[in-house]
């Protein structure tokens, strides 16, 4: 079992309110990722679950037991740190065995578990080495091994991949996913990388300034972000935003500013009608834009001027100017566009997002 529940959890550092009223139920075997920019309170929340940070108010419970006052060692959790935190004076074997030795496991059981973990992580050849004789990726595996051997109820990961180079990070990400599928242990994972969050998490918790912005499955966050922050944070390249005014004309709604005039799709008219005459923020993901053709309905296209062309091979990113705004469009790699070209872009009407200009909440 490994069910973690956070109820109205707060953290104050003197006058700084670092974590604000976090409520979350993490189910057994679930992989939950906390994501957000630095200083958003995600690591502090993780450390409160670990018991490394005192909880200012609220409760953290594991399998129904409130653990607020339990020291880390009694919470039956294992943690993987950003800088690995391997004991530099101990061999790989001793690093992995340390937690079991402290808990007075029999020598044979320790050897069995360490060997088991070493096999899973493919580090059997390095057991006698010291951490500094290992590469970053190998150290990361040892840190994982140290967590695995304990068979804890919950794994806690504090940005474990952020010190690896880009290629290794992608590889370890896949291995972490496999590891979780194999072990099935509840995992709480902190990262500032939204790609890691989307690929690893069964559910993703987006935080900002100590406040949970949205909790949901990765595609829910992508398809229906709760507010402008989540919309901009999830997805790469980031969503384009433009401030527009809602106009009513002959029963049709249009979103309009100096460089843009888009029809509001039929399905959204009801919801947006009460914002007529007011400013709203329109959000368009770069991948939902394409170079307009004759088959695109006129109400969903707009003119733009190319400023930068980024060739990625699989696609082309066009940085374009639309009136006073700049936007990024991810277009087909066969498109031949040059800087200063005037092109018409078309938007997928089902993929338009609208946000309240003041509250930034999704409309």
Partner 1 sequence: MAVQAIETTFGEAPPPRRQRLLEDERWLAFMLLVPTMVLLGMFIAYPFARGILLSVTNSRVGVPGQFVGLANYYKIWNDTIFRTAVYNTFLYTAVTTVFKLGLGLWLAMLLNRDFRGKAFTRAFILLPFIIPTVLSTFAWKWMFDPTFSVLNWVLYHLGLITGRINWLGDPDLAMISIIVVNIWRGVPFFAISLLAGLQTISPELNEAAAIDGAKPWQRFWHVTWPLLLPVTMVVVLFSVIQTFADFQIVYVMTGGGPANATHLFATYAYQIGVGTGLLSEGAAISLAMFPILFLVVIIQLLYIRRVEVR
Among 37, 59, 65, 89, binds partner 1 (CB under 8 A): 89
Tell me how far CA of residue 332 lies from CA of 291, 318, 359, in angstroms: 8, 10, 35
Q: Rounded to 10 degrees, what is the CA torsion of 163, 166, 167, 170?
A: 80
* Residue 121: CB minimum distance to partner 1, A: 17
Q: Which is nearer to partner 1, 94 or 220 (CB)?
A: 94
Residue 103 lies near partner 1 (rule: CB under 8 A) = yes
* Residue 107: CB minimum distance to partner 1, A: 16
Q: Terminal CA-to-CA distance of the chain, rounded, Å? A: 39
Q: In what order do the strands lie in the sheet with 252-257?
A: 260-263, 252-257, 240-249, 279-284, 353-356
* Residue 73: CB minimum distance to partner 1, A: 4
* Residue 71: CB minimum distance to partner 1, A: 7
Residue 77 lies near partner 1 (rule: CB under 8 A) = yes
* Residue 92: CB minimum distance to partner 1, A: 14
Q: Which is nearer to partner 1, 70 or 211 (CB)?
A: 70
Distance of alpha carbon 188 from alpha carbon 28, whole angstroms: 11
* Residue 70: CB minimum distance to partner 1, A: 12
CA-derived radius of gyration, the chain = 25
Q: Which is nearer to partner 1, 158 or 196 (CB)?
A: 158
Distance of alpha carbon 274 from alpha carbon 266, whole angstroms: 15
Residue 99 lies near partner 1 (rule: CB under 8 A) = yes
Residue 164 lies near partner 1 (rule: CB under 8 A) = no
Phi-psi category of residue 313: left, alpha or beta, with phi > 0 → left and psi -120 to 50 → alpha: left
> How would you class 100 by CB atoms within 10 Å of its CB: exposed for 0-12, middle for 13-18, buried for 19 or more?
buried
Q: Which residue has the tokens 């980024």?
A: 310
Q: Rounded to 10 degrees, what is the CA torsion of 104, 105, 110, 114?
A: -80
Q: Which is nearer to partner 1, 12 or 300 (CB)?
A: 12
Q: Rounded to 10 degrees, what is the CA torsion of 102, 103, 104, 109?
A: -110
* Residue 74: CB minimum distance to partner 1, A: 9
The piece of 33-41, 46-54, 179-187, 329-337 that touches partner 1 (CB under 8 A) is 46-54
Among 32, 50, 92, 234, binds partner 1 (CB under 8 A): 50
> Which residues 123-162 are close enough to bind partner 1 by CB under 8 A?
130, 146, 150
> In DSSP terms, which residues pair with 248 in a beta bridge?
253
Q: Which is nearer to partner 1, 130 or 256 (CB)?
A: 130
* Residue 317: CB minimum distance to partner 1, A: 38
Contacts of 166 (CB under 8 A, 6+ apart): none
Residue 52 lies near partner 1 (rule: CB under 8 A) = yes
Where on the chain is the footprint of partner 1 (CB under 8 A)? 50-52, 71-73, 77-79, 81-83, 85, 87-89, 98-99, 102-103, 130, 146, 150
């Amino acid at each position: 079992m490994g069910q973690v529940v956070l109820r109205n959890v707060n953290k104050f550092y003197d006058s700084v309110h670092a974590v604000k009223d976090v409520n979350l139920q993490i189910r057994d075997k679930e992989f939950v990722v906390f994501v957000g920019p630095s200083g958003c309170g995600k690591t502090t929340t993780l450390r409160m679950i670990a018991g490394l940070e005192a909880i200012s108010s609220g409760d953290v419970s594991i399998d129904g037991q409130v653990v607020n006052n339990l020291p880390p060692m009694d919470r039956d959790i294992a943690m993987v740190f950003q800088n690995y935190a391997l004991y530099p004076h101990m061999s790989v074997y001793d690093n992995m065995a340390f937690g079991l030795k402290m808990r007075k496991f029999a020598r044979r059981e320790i050897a069995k578990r360490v060997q088991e973990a070493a096999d899973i992580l493919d580090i059997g050849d390095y057991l006698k080495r010291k951490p500094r004789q290992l590469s970053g990726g190998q150290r990361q595996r040892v840190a994982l091994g140290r967590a695995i051997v304990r068979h804890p109820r919950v794994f806690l990961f504090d940005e474990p991949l952020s010190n690896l180079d880009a290629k290794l990070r992608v590889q370890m990400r896949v291995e972490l996913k496999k590891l979780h599928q194999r072990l099935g242990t509840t995992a709480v994972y902190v990262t500032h990388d939204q790609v890691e969050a989307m690929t690893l998490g069964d559910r993703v918790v987006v935080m900002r300034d100590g406040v949970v912005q949205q909790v949901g499955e990765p595609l829910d966050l992508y398809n229906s972000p709760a507010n402008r922050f989540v919309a901009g944070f999830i997805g790469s390249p980031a969503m384009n935003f433009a401030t527009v005014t809602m106009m009513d004309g002959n029963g049709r709604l249009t979103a309009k500013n100096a460089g843009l005039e888009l029809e509001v799709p039929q399905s959204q008219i009801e919801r947006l009608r009460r914002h007529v005459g007011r400013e709203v923020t329109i959000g368009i993901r770069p991948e939902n834009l394409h170079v307009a053709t004759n088959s695109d309905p006129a109400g969903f296209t707009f003119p733009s001027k190319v400023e930068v062309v980024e060739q990625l091979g699989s696609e082309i990113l066009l940085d374009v100017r639309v009136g006073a705004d700049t936007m990024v469009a991810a277009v087909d790699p066969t498109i031949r566009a040059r800087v200063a070209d005037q092109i018409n872009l078309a938007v997928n009407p089902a993929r338009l997002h609208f946000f309240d200009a003041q509250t930034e909440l999704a409309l």
